Structure 1
Amino acid sequence: MALDEFSRIRKWTSRSATDKGGDGLSIGIGDDAAVFGVASGMEVVACCDAMIETVHFLRRTMKPADIGYKALVSNLSDVAAMGGIPKYAMVTIGVSPTWTEEDCELVYEGIYEAAEAYGVRIIGGDTVSTPDALHLSISVLGEVERGKAIRRSGAMPGDLIFVTGNVGGSAAGLHLLLSAEEAGQRDEAAFREWAELIRKHRRPVPRIQEGRLLLTGCLRPGALNDVSDGLASELWEIAEASSALLVVEESIIPIADVTRQYALHAGKSALDWGLYGGEDYELVGTVAAGEAERMEQLFREHDCTFRVIGRVEAGEPAVWLTDAQDRKRPLPKGGYNHFSR
Structure 2
Amino acid sequence: MAKDEFALIRRWTSRAANQEGTGLSVGIGDDAAVYAVAEGMEVVACCDAMIETVHFLRETMAPADIGYKAMISTISDIAAMGGIPRYALVTIGVAPGWSEAECAALYDGIYEALDQYGMHLIGGDTVTTPDALHLSVTVLGEVERGRALRRAGAKAGDAVFVTGPLGESAAGLHALLAASRRGTDVDGQWAALVSAHQRPRASVTPGRMLLAFGSVGALNDISDGLASELWEIAEASGVQLAIEQQRLPVSDALRRYAAAVGADPYRWVLYGGEDYQLVGTVRREAAAALERLFAENGLFLVLIGQVREGEPGVTLIEPGGCSRPLAKAGFNHFSRAAE
Q: Same fold (TM over 0.5)?
A: yes
Task: Summarize deviations over 1:296-329 as a string: whole Å, max 9, x none.
Answer: 1111122111100000000000100112343211
Write the distance in 2 (CA, Å) between the matches of 1:277 and 1:2: 38
Write the distance in 1 (CA, Å) between the matches of 2:273 and 2:100: 31
Equivalent in the alignment of 1:280: 275
Aligned residue-pair number? 336
Q: CA deviation at 1:340?
A: 7.1
Q: CA deviation at 1:9?
A: 1.2
In the TM superposition, what are the counterparts of 1:1-341 in structure 2 within 5 Å? 2-21=2-21, 23-185=22-184, 187-188=185-186, 191-217=187-213, 219-337=214-332, 338-339=334-335
Write the distance in 1 (CA, Å) between the matches of 2:3 and 2:200: 32
- The amino acid that maps onto 1:197 is L
Q: CA deviation at 1:56?
A: 0.3
Secondary structure of residue in 2 paired with 1:29: coil
Task: Summarize deviations over 1:24-72 as a string: whole Å, max 9, x none.
Answer: 2111111000000000110000000011000000000000000000000
Secondary structure of residue in 1 paired with 2:114: helix
Write the distance in 2 (CA, Å) between the matches of 1:246 and 1:96: 43
- Runs of 5+ consecutive residues of structure 2 not aligned to the other structure: none
Q: TM-score, length-normalised on structure 2? A: 0.97
Q: TM-score, length-normalised on structure 1? A: 0.96
- The amino acid that maps onto 1:282 is Q
Write the distance in 1 (CA, Å) between the matches of 2:295 and 2:65: 29
Which moved further from structure 2: 328-337 or 270-279? Answer: 328-337
Write the distance in 1 (CA, Å) between the matches of 2:288 and 2:249: 18
Write the distance in 2 (CA, Å) between the matches of 1:14 and 1:61: 28
Q: CA deviation at 1:3?
A: 4.7
Write the distance in 1 (CA, Å) between the matches of 2:3 and 2:168: 39
Q: CA deviation at 1:13?
A: 0.4
Secondary structure of residue in 1 paired with 2:46: strand
Write the distance in 1 (CA, Å) between the matches of 2:167 and 2:20: 39
Write the distance in 2 (CA, Å) between the matches of 1:261 and 1:45: 40
- The amino acid that maps onto 2:328 is K
Write the distance in 1 (CA, Å) between the matches of 2:197 and 2:69: 9
Q: CA deviation at 1:173?
A: 0.2
Write the distance in 1 (CA, Å) between the matches of 2:86 and 2:169: 26
Q: CA deviation at 1:5?
A: 2.2
Secondary structure of residue in 1 paired with 2:304: strand
Write the distance in 2 (CA, Å) between the matches of 1:117 and 1:236: 31
- Runs of 5+ consecutive residues of structure 1 not aligned to the other structure: none
Write the distance in 2 (CA, Å) between the matches of 1:3 and 1:10: 14
- The amino acid that maps onto 1:208 is V
- The amino acid that maps onto 1:179 is A
Q: CA deviation at 1:234?
A: 0.3
- The share of aligned pairs that are identical, in percent, is 59
Write the distance in 2 (CA, Å) between the matches of 1:295 and 1:62: 36
Secondary structure of residue in 1 paired with 2:159: strand
